[in-house]
Amino acid sequence: MTVSLLTQAQHGNIRALSQLITAIESHDKDSLNLHSAVYDARKGAPILGITGPPGAGKSSLTDRLIHRYRKQGERVGIVAIDPSSHFTGGAILGDRIRMMSHASDPGVFIRSLGTRGSHGGLSRATQDIVACLDAAGFDRIIVETVGVGQTELDIARIADTTLIVLVPEAGDVVQTMKAGLFEVADLFVINKSDRGGGENLSTALQGQMALDEKAWQVPVLLASALKDEGIEGILEQIEAHRAFARDNHDYHTMREMLRRELFFDLLSDEIASRMRQKIAHDKHLSQLLEHYVHEGRNPYGLLAKLLESIVP
């Protein structure tokens, strides 16, 4: 049944696509064949990652980009990530409701993903949904999230181009930005620049990036999603980065390294999932786990016994 869902999704059946993603997200033992079929069916659609701090207007900007791509006749798939609380389950939704203007458009598919419920972490859950959208034939895929914690770095591992959205008042944010964030940025957009102060932030960003020796000169663009200004310039730079990446040896080397890391993430997650099942069905191992949980005993004895069962 699940393989037929893939076939239906490839023929434009949106309901089948939703069911396919749900099946992929289950990550049960029998889903590996489905995962493999989905990845084999990928067509190589460009993936744009959009991230930045809360309130930067990422969803409004995403909405404008979707509108432009649709005018070009392209189908767009969006993965909207809500970094939800591990304790309360609450999600940071912001102004994502703006994207719902495309909800009735058959050429646009929006899937929301809460990190709280993502099996194996954000990277795996996101790349699996992206794979489904790619296999279903979408021409563009956008991954959008609030840039808190590790999420912006996770996106950069999956996206071909990473766009970071800031606002003119984000000068202090730039001062405290993790160095890694500058490394993953392919394009900075200062949104809401009609409020003034965007030029000062642009100068600060360019000065910071001048310290890095990168083959790709990261552009800093001013825009106003609310006023629909600066969007064409963003689209041009996204395409310019695609052209650069297509022919750059260092870029391909970096992507190969990231794919290697993603594979080991998948391997670790799959092994951990199967070990959970093994403990649940093995009375002796379950007892050892309970001794550790309740009495704080050394966990390495249990770990050694588990490893003996998979690595002789």
Q: Name the 3-class secondary structure at 113.
A: strand
pLDDT value at residue 18: 92
The secondary element (H helix, E strand) that includes residue 118 is none
Give residue-wise pLDDT tens across range 83-128. Answer: 554 433 444 444 455 566 676 788 999 998 875 444 445 667 888 9
- Where does residue 2 rank: exposed (0-12), middle (13-18), buried (19+ CB within 10 A)? middle
Phi then psi dihedrals of residue 190, to 5 deg: -95, 100
Compute the mean pLDDT over every residue in the chain, rounded to the nearest whole number.
81
Give residue-wise pLDDT tens across range 229-270. Answer: 999 999 999 999 999 998 888 888 888 888 888 888 888 888
pLDDT value at residue 291: 81
CA contacts within 13 A on the Cβ side of 240: 13
- Give me the count of residues in the chain: 312
Count CB neighbours of 142 within 10 A: 25
- pTM over 0.95? The answer is no
Give residue-wise pLDDT tens across range 168-210. Answer: 887 666 655 655 667 788 999 999 988 888 888 888 888 777 7
- Residue whose C-alpha is closest to residue 208's, from 157, 154, 167, 171: 171
pLDDT value at residue 30: 63
Which range (9-18, 45-54, 169-178) has the least confidence?
Answer: 169-178
